[in-house]
């Protein structure tokens, strides 16, 4: 397939943070960006450049997803009764939806067994088009802990080390550790799970094999534990503490309300950790669905009220972290797959980032440049810079004006090849 060419855009957003370029060209060869600039600088290339849509920007990067799961509100335990073949087919479907929406890179943040390693191999062999994948394989957790169903249970330092080594041997690009409870049956999201010392073992083992770490951390104490352990990216970061219980209205475990702990937040700001934020997965798909309905049942009204209340608490937490200078270290991932969280709607997270107080450009960088940096892929994707992979999202309207314009996809290129 052809991986050479040039696109002309009425507006080019390179995601580096500067003003967009008007009437611009991005030229690519052998799958990589060769040149970026104003059309007047390109001579005959500008005359032959393809014009598909009005806007050209980097392909989106989803730094947190679970493609083997289907968002039909069933508990993990029920979904995972399916054989590996069904999980693989589910992943193919979800990744196809994501790619068509402009997502060209996905970090899978936990799957059962070796399913996602084989899905990636199928993409590499050209069996079907899909995003670039960065895989965690099985999340490492304690007995009965969140995501224990994936097969990564480790209850001692030696078991943690062994799991890291096995995962890397199987092809894991990143090591995921579970630092708090979550939506798994019996889990308590506002309680920490692995201790600082246990997390440090995982970090040391991963770093010894040149793999970064990401940790599931919803509880305030778990966030601090991750900072102390040197985790590279901390996921969720909801600052949940014991207290009032709010049923999120889906199949997940009840949780507390987010409440910023200033001391821990300032400690987080002083660290080098990236924030893998996933507000969509707190029930936003259901909020959107219910708000569109002309009439609601009593149960639906109650569910909507609870979810809206949760976001009223969570979004100010994100805003406060932004005000502490963390915007450049915030990646927004969909966490799509579990419960109600759909693939193909990364724009929901851009919308929620803006509601939390991030600027339009910061919100866009959260699903491009920053998400790529969080994944350690910033030398390849996330911005339109010479030498990077020609992952391009072509839109009909400006996403800086309205994040909903991210849904107006005209074309998608992965490594210079048009895939949508």
CA geometry: angle 236, 242, 243, nearest 5 deg? 115
> How far apart (Å, rounded) are the C-alpha atoms in residues 25 and 55?
11
User: What confidence score (pLDDT) does residue 22 get?
Assistant: 97
User: What confidence score (pLDDT) does residue 408 get?
Assistant: 98
Domain 60-374: CATH superfamily, name plus number: Metal-dependent hydrolases (3.20.20.140)
Laid out side by side, the sheet with 5-12 consists of 32-38, 21-29, 5-12, 55-58, 392-395, 409-414, 417-418
User: What confidence score (pLDDT) does residue 251 get?
Assistant: 41
DSSP class of 385: -
Q: Exposed/middle/buried for 144, CB within 10 Å: 0-12, 13-18, 19+?
A: middle
User: What confidence score (pLDDT) does residue 1 get?
Assistant: 65
Q: Are strands 213-219 and 175-178 parallel, antiparallel or unpaired?
A: parallel
- The low-confidence residues of the chain, meaning pLDDT below 70, are 1, 243-254
Laid out side by side, the sheet with 60-65 consists of 60-65, 103-108, 132-135
Domain ranges in the chain are: 5-58+382-418, 60-374
Q: Which H helix or E strand runs over 307?
A: helix 298-321
Is CATH 2.30.40.10 what the domain over 5-58+382-418 is classified as, yes or no? yes
User: What confidence score (pLDDT) does residue 9 get?
Assistant: 97
User: What confidence score (pLDDT) does residue 244 get?
Assistant: 58
* 5-58+382-418 matches 60-374 in fold: no
Q: Residue 381 in contact with residue 132, Cβ under 8 Å?
A: yes
> How far apart (Å, rounded) are the C-alpha atoms in residues 31 and 5?
9
User: What confidence score (pLDDT) does residue 76 get?
Assistant: 74
User: Alpha helices, DSSP H only, in 230-270?
Assistant: 262-270
């Amino acid at each position: 397939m052809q991986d050479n060419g040039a696109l002309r855009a009425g507006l080019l957003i390179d995601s580096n943070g500067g003003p967009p370029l008007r009437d611009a060209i991005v030229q690519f060869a052998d799958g990589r960006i060769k040149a970026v600039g104003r059309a007047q600088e390109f001579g005959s290339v500008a005359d032959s450049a393809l014009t598909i849509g009005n806007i050209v920007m980097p392909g989106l990067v989803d730094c947190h997803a679970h493609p083997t799961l289907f968002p039909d509100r069933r508990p993990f335990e029920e979904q995972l009764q399916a054989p590996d073949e069904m999980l693989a087919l589910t992943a193919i479907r979800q990744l196809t939806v994501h790619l068509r929406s402009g997502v060209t890179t996905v970090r899978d943040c936990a799957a059962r067994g070796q399913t996602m390693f084989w899905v990636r191999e199928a993409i590499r062999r050209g069996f079907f088009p899909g995003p670039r994948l960065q895989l965690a394989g099985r999340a490492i957790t304690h007995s009965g802990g969140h995501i224990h169903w994936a097969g990564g249970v480790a209850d001692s330092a030696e078991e943690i080390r062994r799991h890291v080594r096995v995962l890397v041997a199987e092809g894991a690009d990143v090591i995921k550790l579970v630092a708090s409870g979550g939506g798994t049956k019996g889990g308590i999201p506002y309680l920490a799970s692995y201790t600082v010392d246990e997390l440090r073992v995982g970090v040391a083992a991963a770093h010894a094999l040149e793999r970064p770490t990401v940790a599931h951390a919803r509880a305030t104490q778990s966030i601090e534990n991750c900072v102390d352990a040197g985790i590279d990216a901390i996921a969720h970061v909801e600052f949940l503490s014991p207290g009032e219980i709010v049923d999120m209205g889906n199949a997940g475990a009840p949780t507390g309300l987010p409440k910023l702990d200033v001391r821990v937040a300032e400690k987080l700001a002083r660290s080098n950790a990236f924030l893998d934020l996933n507000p969509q997965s707190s029930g936003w798909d259901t909020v959107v669905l219910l708000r569109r309905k002309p009439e609601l049942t009593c149960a639906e009204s109650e569910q909507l009220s609870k979810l809206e209340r949760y976001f009223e608490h969570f979004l100010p937490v994100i805003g406060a972290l932004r005000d502490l200078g963390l915007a450049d270290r915030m990646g927004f991932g969909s966490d799509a797959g579990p419960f109600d969280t759909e693939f193909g709607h990364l724009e929901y997270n851009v919308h929620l980032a803006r509601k939390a107080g991030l600027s339009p450009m910061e919100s866009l960088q959260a699903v491009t440049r920053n998400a790529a940096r969080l994944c350690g892929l910033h030398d390849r994707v996330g911005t339109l810079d010479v030498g990077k992979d020609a992952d391009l999202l072509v839109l009909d309207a400006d996403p800086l004006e309205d994040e909903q314009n991210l849904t107006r996809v005209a074309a998608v290129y992965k490594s210079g090849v048009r895939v949508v």
